[in-house]
Amino acid sequence: MPSTQRIVRLLARPLFAVALLCTLFAATRPVAAQQPYRVLDKWKLADSGFWDYLIVDSPAHRLYITRGDHVDVLDTQTGKQVGTIGNMHGTHGVALDTAGKLGFVSDGGGNAVVAFDRATLAIVAVIPAGTGPDGIIFEPATQTVWAFNGRSKDATVIDAATKKVVATIPLPGKPEFPQVDGKGTVFDNIEDKSEIVRLDAHTNKLTAEWPAGCESPSGLAIDASGNRLFTVCDGKKMAVVDSNTGKVLATPAIGDGPDAVGWSAAQQLAFASSGDGILSVVDAATPAYKTIESLPTLRGARTMAYDAGTDRIYLVTADFGPRPDPTPTNPRPRPTMIPGSFKVIVVGR
């Protein structure tokens, strides 16, 4: 019969193995992923005007923010404005090429895509698009720019080298924000149909149309290596969708009135910014897709950009006066923005 000490040793081995596995699993998660995000800084900009998308050029330490008839360009190391891209009509998004040379602005009010030199911020071409170009993205495998036109419900494809339109692709509804997998596949939310579409950049064809898994999808992010899409919707939901099959994997809870979503491959986290002033952080490292943090930012900070190089998030909002009374020509008027109150919120560890 085994001795008491031997029995204890035998029982302890499985427990030790379990403890060792737990320790090793914890070590594989980045230390930063176990720490909460917080508001680090707020930068004020003097110019007025509403805003839409923003994007980070991490290697150049620049942040581009569309502001109505112009684009503000900030230094992300200092928070200071370094320039402006002007003379447009109603800007929505900015796309950046992979060579670090050119940027492209969707000028929805001008029904055009405006190409600019990223070194000088000078406009180098104005390219006709569909009606109301909104979301825009650079597709690296084909070196093309994709502008998604909200009012004509189609996509304009532009050759970045020649700055000429090479295709116009009809869509099943009103497009919102696009994403690319880097290999020639483009995805986009169809807001009024609550769908996600998949397009082939090599053939300029629509190849799939899937339910988004939630209502009125707006922002979209991609985990290209993990074949997952993250979209944010009405009803305080984020939908996680398999980018190969369109299967909805999860619908974690987020803030109210979201508009943008970001993805951190290093941390395996998805971020959703919402109009109620909450930045939701979703753990995508496990199948539970648990919302692990709901960080208060500021009301109206519903759009954002994630900088993978610094693990920082940039959100924008402003202070507002009372909302004007509705009129027949403007049934849903925006409240008046208080001059000088526009700000960038910097979030990090």
Domain 87-211 fold is: Methylamine Dehydrogenase; Chain H (2.130.10)
Q: Burial code of 19-41, b = ≥16 C-beta within 10 A, e = fewer? A: eeeeeeeeeeeeeebeeebebee
Cα(193)–Cα(188) distance, rounded to whole angstroms? 12
Residue 33 pLDDT > 90, yes or no?
no
Residue with tokens 């050759």: 159
Mean pLDDT along residues 186-213: 98
C-alpha distances out from residue 135 to 179, 255, 292, Å: 9, 22, 29
Supply the pLDDT for residue 17. Answer: 47
| CA–CA distance, 232 with 230 (Å, rounded to integer) | 7
Query: Is pLDDT of 1 > 50?
Result: no
> Count of CB atoms within 10 A of residue 2's CB?
9
CATH architecture of 32-50+212-349: 7 Propeller (2.130)
pLDDT, tens only, 44-88: 998 878 899 999 999 999 999 999 999 999 999 999 999 999 999
* Residue 18 dihedral angles phi and psi, to the nearest 5°: -60, -45
Tell me if domain 32-50+212-349 and domain 87-211 are identical in fold: yes
Q: Is the Cα dihedral 86, 92, 97, 98 positive or negative?
A: positive
Contacts of 203 (CB under 8 A, 6+ apart): none
Per domain, the residue ranges of the chain are 32-50+212-349, 87-211
